[in-house]
Amino acid sequence: MSRRLPVYLLIDTSASMTGEPIEAVKTGLDTLVSALRTDPQALETAWLSLITFDSEARELVPLTELIGFQVPPIEARGVTAYGAGLKAVTDAIHRDVQKATAERKGDWKPIIFIMTDGMPTDDWHMAVESFAAAKPGLVVACAAGANAALEPLQAVTQNVVSLDTADRASLSAFFKWVSASIAVSSSKVDLTKKDTSDLGELPPPPDEIKVVI
């Protein structure tokens, strides 16, 4: 079995995502999975997990190979338990990611994409420390819309991007870029035998996506 590239999608599904944003997330996830299934390297290497957070965190899809990944029903509700979401990803990394042994090479370091449109409503600071201790690979966080807080995202990664609005066009562009980024990372680890660790190793983001400096 080839070394897996675990990819975790941590998506805000709080009530502020009701309407166009949550529908755009569903469409974006469908498009992402369909696009990756046309990429032979991604099919062989990338495994996806979907974790959402509103008033609590939910692992909607555990780490699954692309061919078997099904986008589940998603609804917007509740508040923004960002800390619970980070904890859920941290727990999943500890559980899922296979470490190297004398007999086999372990998985590649996981890639995590985070998207939120608001401010955390729980105490997220302790979750940041645990998340960092799990030693993920590349972490990309997206602040979607004017009400998305940057500080909680910048606490977990230097790779923060923003969308001016959380509308269909912006979120569609984001998920297409995430799909392309996963595809590029799948090829990169195969060719270079090195983990993806920097935003500069991903495709340039489209105009809708601004890199936060």
* 6 touches 63 (CB < 8 A): yes
Whether the predicted pLDDT of 1 surpasses 70: no
Please give the mean pLDDT across all residues of the chain.
Answer: 95
**Region of poorest pLDDT, from 64-68, 101-105, 118-122:** 101-105
CA distances (Å), origin 167, targets 17, 156, 205, 206? 10, 25, 17, 15
Q: CA 125, CA 204: separation in Å to the nearest integer?
A: 31
Average pLDDT over residues 186-193: 91
pLDDT at res. 2? 76
Encode pLDDT of 132-171 as tens digits: 999 999 999 999 999 999 999 999 999 999 999 999 999 9
Average pLDDT over residues 85-90: 98
Q: CA 23, CA 30: separation in Å to the nearest integer?
A: 11
Encode pLDDT of 105-127 as tens digits: 899 999 999 999 999 999 999 99
* 113 touches 8 (CB < 8 A): yes
